[in-house]
Structure formats: structure tokens, C-alpha cells
Amino acid sequence: MEKVIEIKNLTKSYGNGRGISDINLDIYKGDIFGFLGPNGAGKTTAMKIMTGLVRPEHGDVKILGYSVTEQYEKAMAKVGCLIEIAESYHYLSAYDNLKQLARYYPGIDHSRIEEVLELTGMLRFKHEKPKKFSLGMKQRLGLAAAVLSRPKVVILDEPLNGLDVEGMIDIRKMIQNLAEKEETTFFISSHLIHDVELTCNRIGVIYNGKILNVESTSTILKNYATLENYFVSEVERNGRISSSAS
Amino acid sequence: MKLKKKTALLASFTMGALLLATTALADIASKSGYEELKDAIKLTAERGSEAFDSFTLDFSMAMKDNGKTLMSGNETKKFDRKTGATESLSSNVNLNGYTNSSQTYSDTKTMIRVSESDPTYYVTEFSKEREIESFNNPFKEEEAADVEKIIDAIVGSLKDHVVITEKDDGSKEINGSLTEVQIPALVNAVASFQLKQEFNGNHNQSNMPKLVKDVFVKQVTGTAKVNKDGVLESILGIAVLSGKDEQGAIHEISVDALITVTDINSTTVTKPDLTGKKVVRHLERDYSGSEISNPEKYLGKFKNDILIEKDGKFVKIGERIIDITHIDTIKVTGQYHEEFKPGFEEYATNTSELSFSAEFIKDQRGNANFEYTTKSGVKGQGNIYFDDYQGKINFNGMNTSYEGGLMFDSTFSPDLD
Amino acid sequence: MVVFQAALLNELEKLYKKKKVLVGILLSLAVIVIGQLVIVGVRSGFGLRGTGSVEFPMLVLSVVVNTILPLFTALVTIDSFSGEFTQNSMRITLTRPVSRFKVYTAKIMAIVLFILGALLLLLVFSLLAGFIFNTNSATLDSLGRTVFSYLVSLFPMTVLALAIALLANILRSGIAVFFVSILTFLGLTVLSVLFSQYSGLFLTTHLDWYNLFLVNSFPLLKILRQFLIMLGYGIMFFTAGFYIFDKKEF
């Protein structure tokens, strides 16, 4: 199978002892990869490095064969992402926000912007400024921005943050749809274990900055009743008991 | 790749720093025309006051209205630093069209003045040899450095308009020229306002056109020549002010000023020959010293009249007489007595006859406090003041009660009969 | 190049949409109107000409080049960097297929274009005002010099923008950047008065460098030296600013 994301020996430590150390991961084409871990385990750090917001101390990330640290433009050409909070320029309308991004991708035009707005249910707010948006609406706009360029790889950090049930279902459908129809590869971090179970087909557990295990969802569900059981046992196996998999 | 980027950044930064440093050094090292001009002026002033034995300074200026001369002036000053003698010749045509010229000569002992309108030679002779420095270096004054900084700041970016050209013989020409576009608008406005006020001030009958509208400084140019020793030989400045009079006619008023320094070490200052001329002499006493000059002139008698008022008239009943028996710049001694006419002897008091002795108070010219002793041996204190200007003595201190309508008078005139 | 153009276009759109351009136009017009009123006042009140048609733009330039232009430059630069750092909106651009070098350069370029626009606007309007309200004193030479003076003023402003961009990348808060910039500006102004022999090294003096182009004799060497000094500053500021920007984590 074709490797889409290749993470090698990725290390980054912060002053407060947090960070990630020696992470190795391979994500294959068509994967909907779930990145599970408690708060502060290093999920966001890893994803920031993957999208070039933070430089690693050691190691590298290759997306579609291009190094993020060295060939950034090429590596990111077919990547869409949403890191932490969905940011937008609050003085530009939803449409203009997307138009700004569209300029970086050849072939992304007016109709595609409308399309992703429709896809995320934001079309009726296209001329409104995100200043007045709720957290959920901002999140939808952020997702629209992530998939705008018809990316081959989508990196999402807590994509369901702030969404209502309806929104969650919509987004989950969208992700599955894209994975099926366009063979888009997803890399999703989430604290909602149930949701990861429903959406993702491969799951990696990160704890204290280290990858504990990577397994396909179907294999996990064969051996464990739920994903939550698997997660707790994985964490326990590695020494400390985490009371919750938040 | 990563290393390459770092190297590129480092190289770029270093290049910028080097570029900055080398050019900055060159910039500091390079002297602008303005700096050179300042140096030349300073050097000239310094040499003029310390090194040159003699030189001639020539000032001339002219004011023209559309090319027609309104006024002009010329002054030639010769300095002989060794003897302290200076001579100056000046001639002017003023705004009303009148001409006048005058000549002044001065050295340590005399000053001679004559003018065209009055051919009398006024000769002033000084009792004491004056100490004159024929030419003072203005840059030695205390405030000079601060004034220079302020001027530098005001001149500001106009400095760059001063251009220097070096000649083959080592001499230099410094040029500066500003036209209306180059003169900062604010400077232009302030300067034109000042000049307008100046010109339109109080010359009611002059030839000067009254500018009422659209006044502005049109052009300012300057040229200075510096010889190969760095001494200023000449400096010429021209300013042109433009404006309209009440009839709307445009006037361009130009002011030219030229200063030249010539005949360095070869100037001779000659005292005017007074033979056969009408001469008025007078002796200038030196009032400025801290001691009276020629104190011995006060030796001898001084007196005034003792008056009373009687039946609505002044009646002289006697005289007060001071006899200075010894005087020098430090001490003075003498006697005082009163002489009454027959029939008025009863006015005499116990201080009518006394002797005194005093020391001059330091730095108080001609002023002394004395102690006196009367004939009967009573002591007292008083003050004496030698008035050089009036040639009189002020004598005070006997707190006598002047009974019977005696007039009080403390001023004594010399008794020269 | 396509990517850079996109980045530049985005920066310009952001400037425009933030009403910065509008504020710029209004302020520039205000300067010209106030300036013209002062001139008319001086003319009728004191009988001075004030300025001729060509001198008026020079008067405007000499005022704005030391006041509102540096102020604008500072505000726009601070907003472009500090503003986006604190709102985290820098991430929007940085996670796109565009290198940080291009982002940094595009930001600087947009600011430079903004200043250029402001200068041209001031030039056009002050020329218009000059011709309408003031005695005609134009010659082709003086007109040419005026236009040139406006254009060359862009260069020191660019260096200033680079300096402030560097500062904005060093300091966290935009307000801190603003005050440090103002204090430095005032400090340098005072220093260049006190040490006038070194004033050629200070950026504040360079703002007035257009005066050099007005000199009849055209002091080429002096112009070259000033140019190289500014270039040196510019390269250093740009490199250092970019270095910090490139290392930043968002």
C-alpha cells in the first residue's frame, strides 16, 4: 500500500517536560487514522510539526514523499488541515476567508468555494463575518477551509469541537464520503472515543509523548468490547493508570 | 538544505552589516562642504586673532530692486595686530539716496575720526595706554560650541547643498545655492516674514518698495574661496526676495554681501597726517579703571560756600575748605576747616576744623571712608569721594546739626585761583 | 512566483478590507486640506506667498515624511505581524503550501506598496491643490524634482518598515512594539541633533534624504553613501526579522 504520511523519529520537547519523543508512524492511502490520547499527550504538538507550524528537534515528516521541514510547499500542496481552534480573519466574510486560501491552489475557483460551503452547511452565512459566528460555525468554516483544495491528505485536530450532534453526524458523513469517493487520507485526533470508533479505520494511541500501539479498528473490536476498553488497557499496560481517556 | 538556509541567512546578515559599517565609516570620514566651510571660518578667525601680524578685511553689501541699487555700503578694515592699530574706511549710500563716508583710525593711544560731512579731525587721546585686541576670535567665546550645535541643527539637511571644488593650486571654492523649491517651506515663510517686516518697517521716505503680497525668498546663493592654507579669502552671499507692491508690480529685491580677507601680513596701518587739517583734540580720561588716574591732580585746596537763608535771600557767610595734603592710589590725607565772615563766627561748631586720613576702598574708584580728629581731639568717621568726571570732591560725615539755617553742601570744587 | 503573488494579493486584500486604505486616504487628504488652509491663512494674513504651486507638494512631503507616513508604516507593520501573532490568524496562512520566506516577503511587499500608494496619493492631491490654490511657479525641472522626491522617499520608509517588522517579531505585544518604535524614533531624532556629524547614520535622518536629490550639484557620492547605508540596514533588518519569523512556533 502507498504510504501517504511517513513520520520518522519525531522528537520535540518543551521546557515543562511535555512534548513528543521518537514517534514513528506510517499512514497509508485511504486510511482514516484516529490519533487517540489524553490531554497533553503530544497530539497537537505532533500535528503542528506535521503542518509546519512547529519545527521538530529530530526526525522528519514526509507527506506524499516530500519532507515538511525541507520541501514545505510541495509537501503541503495536497494537504488540508485544521489545527486546534479553527482560525479565520474576523474582518473578512466567510466567503472571502476561503477566497484568500483558494489563491494558493491552482484550479480552486468560485464554484469550489460554494461547494465546500454547501458541504459544511455554511452557504447561507457566506457573506457574514466570522466575528458573529458561534464556535460550531467557526469549526464548520475551518473544516470547509481544510477540504477546500480537494486535498489528498486531511489533518484534523479535534474536528468535532463545538459541534452539535447534527453537526457531528454531518462531518462524520463528509469524512467517510471523501475517504470512499476521492480516496482522501485522514489524520484525525480526537478525545471523543466513541466518535473515533465510528469514524476511523486505524487507531494509534499516544501517551506521554510516545506512540503505544497502532492497530486497525476492526482488529481492536475483535479483541475488545469497545475502543474505550482497548484504550484503557493499552494505557495500563504501559505503566500508569489513566482514570479517563479524555 | 537546512544548513544551507542558515548559511545564507548568516551571509546575508553579514553582508548587510559590512555594507553598513564600511559606508558609515566613509560617511563619517568624508567632510561635507558645510564642514569645510565651518573649518575655514574657524581657522581664519583663529589666525586673524593669533597668527597674522596684519590683514585687511573688506565688507561690502548692496541692495537692489529689480537691478536698481537701493543702498550700498563698503567698509575696509585694516588690522595690525602687533601695534594694535586699526584703520577703517567706510562709505555708504543709504535708502534715501544720501551718501556719506568716514574714516577711523585707532591705536593704543589715540583714536582719530573724520567724516565726509564734517572735515574736522576729531582726535581722542587716551590718558592711559589702552589694551586692545585688534581682532577677537568669536569661536573662543564660551557659548560658541553650543551656538554651533544649534546652527548645525537649524541648517539640517541644507548642509548638503554646500559643494566644494578643489583647484589645482590647492585652493578651494565652496558653493551653495538654494532655490525656492529647495528652501524648506517653513524656513522660507519665517524668513520672508522677517524680511518683509524689516523692509516695510519705518523707512517712510525711502526708495524701498513696500511689499505687501506674495512675499517669498526666491533664491539664496553663496560662494566662498579658501586659499591653500585653509584660510578664507572671500565669501559672497546673495539672497533674492520676491514680492508684489500695492500696485501689484513684482519686485525682486536682492541683497549681496561680500567679505574678503586680503594682504595677510602685508597690511600697513598708517596714522592720518594731521598737518594743515582742522583738528579738535580732547583727552579721554579713563573712567573704567578701579583706581582714579593721576591722583596727584587732587592735591591742593577745594572749597564751597557756606550759605544761609535770611530774609528770603541766600547769604554767603563763609567758606568750607578742604586741603588735600597727600594723595596716591591707596591713601589720602588732608584737613578740613570752615572760615566764617566777620559777624558770623558763632556758626562755627566743634567740627569746623579737623584733619582726616583715609584709605581707598578696593575696586571702588575714588571712594574712601575716613577717620577724622577735630582740633579738640574728638574722633569721628566720614566719607570722601573723588569724582573724576566732574573734577570735584564729595565730603560727608560730620553729623553736625546745622542750626540757624545753614545750607548743607558736600560738593567741593577745586580752588584754582 | 505564483505562490508569492497569491500571498501578496492576500496581504493586500487584508489591508484593504481592514479599512486601512480608507483611513490612509482620509488622513492624507486631511493633511493636504489643513496644509492648504494654513498657506491661504499665511498668505492673506501676513502677505507672504507661503508656497508656490510646486513648493506646496514639497511642504506636504517634508511634513508627512516625518509624521504620518512613519506612523502609518508602523501601524500597518505592527498590525500585519503582531496583530496576526496574537490572534493566531497567522496559522491560516502558514498551513498553506507557501514557505515562510514568501509569507514574510509578501507581508513586507504589501506594506511597501501601501506606503507607495500613500505617497502617490499625497503627490497627486498636493499637486492638484498646489495648482488650484497657489501661484504658479512650476517649471518642468521643479516638477520633475518634486515627483522624484516623493518616489525616493519610499526607500527609507521601506527600511523603517523592515525595522519595525523585526521589532514586531522580537516583542510579543503590538503596543510594546509601537511604543518602542516611537521612543526609538524620538531618541534618534535627538541624537542626530546632538551628534550632527554622525546624523548620516540614523534612520530618522534618512527619512529626509529626498533633499539630496534637490541639490543642484547632485551630490552623487553622498546619495550613494546614504543609499548603501540604508541598504545595509535594510538587509540586516530583513534577515534578522525573517530569521526570527522562520523560527517562530504557532
Residue of chain C whose alpha carbon sits nearest to that of A47? C95
Task: Name the residue with cell 489643513.
Answer: C34
Q: In angstroms, rounded to a whole number, what is the distance separating the alpha carbons of residues B353 and B375?
A: 6
Give the model's pLDDT for residue C44: 76
Architecture of domain A3-78+151-237: 3-Layer(aba) Sandwich (3.40)
B243-267 CB burial, b ≥16 within 10 A, e <16:
bbeeeeeebebbbbbbbbbeebeeb
Instruction: Write out chain B residues lying below 8 Å of A69, CB-based.
Output: 2
Residue of chain B whose alpha carbon sits nearest to that of A69? B2
Q: Is C145 on the interface with B (CB under 8 A)?
A: yes
Q: In angstroms, rounded to a whole number, what is the distance separating the alpha carbons of residues A79 and A76?
A: 5
Most confident of the ranges A137-146, B259-268, B311-320: A137-146
Min Cα–Cα distance to chain C from B69, Å: 24
Instruction: Write out chain C residues lying below 8 Å of B153, CB-based.
Output: 193, 196
Q: Is A70 on the interface with B (CB under 8 A)?
A: yes
Instruction: Write out chain B residues lying below 8 Å of A70, CB-based.
Output: 1-2
Q: What is the pLDDT of residues B235-253, one digit of tens each?
A: 899 988 888 888 888 888 8
- The residues on B that touch A, with CB distances below 8 Å, are 1-2
Min Cα–Cα distance to chain B from A70, Å: 7
Question: Among A12, A18, A20, A53, which would you mutate to test the C interface (most chain C Cβ atoms within 10 Å of its Cβ)?
Answer: A53
Please report the residues numbered 132 through 161 in chain B whose beta carbons come closer than 8 angstroms to any beta carbon of chain C: 149, 152-153, 156-158, 160-161
Q: Is C212 on the interface with B (CB under 8 A)?
A: yes
Q: Is B182 on the interface with C (CB under 8 A)?
A: yes
Min Cα–Cα distance to chain A from C201, Å: 37
Inform me whether the pLDDT recorded for C244 exceeds 90: yes
Subunits touching C (CB < 8 Å, at least 3 pairs)?
A, B
CB contact under 8 A, C229 and B20: yes
Q: Is A69 on the interface with B (CB under 8 A)?
A: yes
CB contact under 8 A, A74 and C6: no
CB contact under 8 A, C193 and B149: yes
Instruction: Write out chain C residues lying below 8 Å of A77, CB-based.
Output: 97
Give the model's pLDDT for residue C168: 93
Min Cα–Cα distance to chain C from A93, Å: 10
Give the model's pLDDT for residue A95: 92
φ, ψ dihedrals at B379, nearest 5°: -105, 155
Give the model's pLDDT for residue A246: 41
Gyration radius of chain B's alpha carbons: 35
Give the model's pLDDT for residue B13: 92
More confident: B181 or A100: A100
Give the relative orientation of helices A135-147 and A94-102 as an angle to the nearest 10 degrees.
Answer: 20
Residue of chain A whose alpha carbon sits nearest to that of B4? A70
Task: Name the residue with cell 541699487.
Answer: B69
- What are the grid coordinates assigned to B96, written together? 534715501
CB contact under 8 A, C235 and B15: yes
Residue of chain A whose alpha carbon sits nearest to that of B3? A70
Min Cα–Cα distance to chain C from A78, Å: 8
CB contact under 8 A, C92 and A54: no
CB contact under 8 A, A96 and C13: yes
- What are the C-alpha distances in Å from B108 to residues A185, B125, B133, C75? 108, 9, 10, 69
- pLDDT digits (tens), chain A, 246 positions: 788 899 999 999 887 878 888 889 999 988 899 988 888 888 888 999 999 899 898 899 999 989 988 888 888 988 999 988 888 898 899 999 999 999 999 888 899 999 899 888 888 998 999 888 888 888 889 989 998 988 999 999 888 877 888 888 888 888 888 888 888 899 999 878 888 888 888 999 888 888 888 888 888 888 888 888 888 888 888 765 444 444
Nearest to C95 by CA among B213, B395, A85, B118: A85
* Residue A189, strand partner residues: A35, A157
Residue of chain C whose alpha carbon sits nearest to that of B146? C194
Question: Among A70, A73, A74, which would you mutate to test the B interface (most chain B Cβ atoms within 10 Å of its Cβ)?
Answer: A70
Query: What ipTM does this complex have?
Result: 0.88
3-state class (DSSP) for residue A242? coil
Above pLDDT 70, what percent of chain B? 91
Chain-centroid distance of CA A48 in Å reads 10
Q: Is C42 on the interface with A (CB under 8 A)?
A: no
Question: Among A45, A81, A84, A87, which would you mutate to test the C interface (most chain C Cβ atoms within 10 Å of its Cβ)?
Answer: A87
Subunits touching B (CB < 8 Å, at least 3 pairs)?
A, C
Question: Among B1, B4, B5, which would you mutate to test the A interface (most chain A Cβ atoms within 10 Å of its Cβ)?
Answer: B1
Range of the domain at C221: 2-247
Q: In angstroms, rounded to a whole number, what is the distance separating the alpha carbons of residues A206 and A185?
A: 20
- What are the C-alpha distances in Å from C203 to residues A100, C18, C184, C199, C219? 35, 29, 10, 9, 19
Cβ atoms < 10 Å from Cβ of C223 = 16
Contact of B252 with B63, CB cutoff 8 Å: no
Please report the residues numbered 4 through 33 in chain B whose beta carbons come closer than 8 angstroms to any beta carbon of chain C: 9, 12-13, 15-21, 23-24, 26-28, 30, 32
Cβ atoms < 10 Å from Cβ of C143 = 15
Min Cα–Cα distance to chain C from A105, Å: 8
Residue of chain B whose alpha carbon sits nearest to that of A67? B1
Residue of chain C whose alpha carbon sits nearest to that of A89? C89
Q: In angstroms, rounded to a whole number, what is the distance separating the alpha carbons of residues A90 and A94?
A: 9
* Helices and strands per DSSP (H, E), number in chain C: 12, 0
Cβ atoms < 10 Å from Cβ of A240 = 8
Most confident of the ranges A119-123, B70-74, B394-398, C229-233: C229-233
Residue of chain C whose alpha carbon sits nearest to that of A149? C96
- What are the C-alpha distances in Å from B57 to residues B46, B85, B266, C187? 14, 14, 12, 44
Domain range list for chain A: 3-78+151-237, 91-149
Q: Is A180 on the interface with B (CB under 8 A)?
A: no
Give me the amino acid identity at A181: K
Q: In angstroms, rounded to a whole number, what is the distance separating the alpha carbons of residues B131 and B341?
A: 51
Question: Among A89, A101, A141, which would you mutate to test the C interface (most chain C Cβ atoms within 10 Å of its Cβ)?
Answer: A89
How many domains, chain C? 1
Question: Among A104, A105, A154, A157, which would you mutate to test the C interface (most chain C Cβ atoms within 10 Å of its Cβ)?
Answer: A104
Give the model's pLDDT for residue C126: 87
Most confident of the ranges A91-105, B344-358, B374-388: A91-105
Q: What is the pTM of this model?
A: 0.76
The pLDDT mean for chain B works out to: 81
A:C CB pairs within 8 Å? 73
Contact of B60 with B35, CB cutoff 8 Å: no
More confident: B285 or B108: B108
Give the model's pLDDT for residue B218: 84
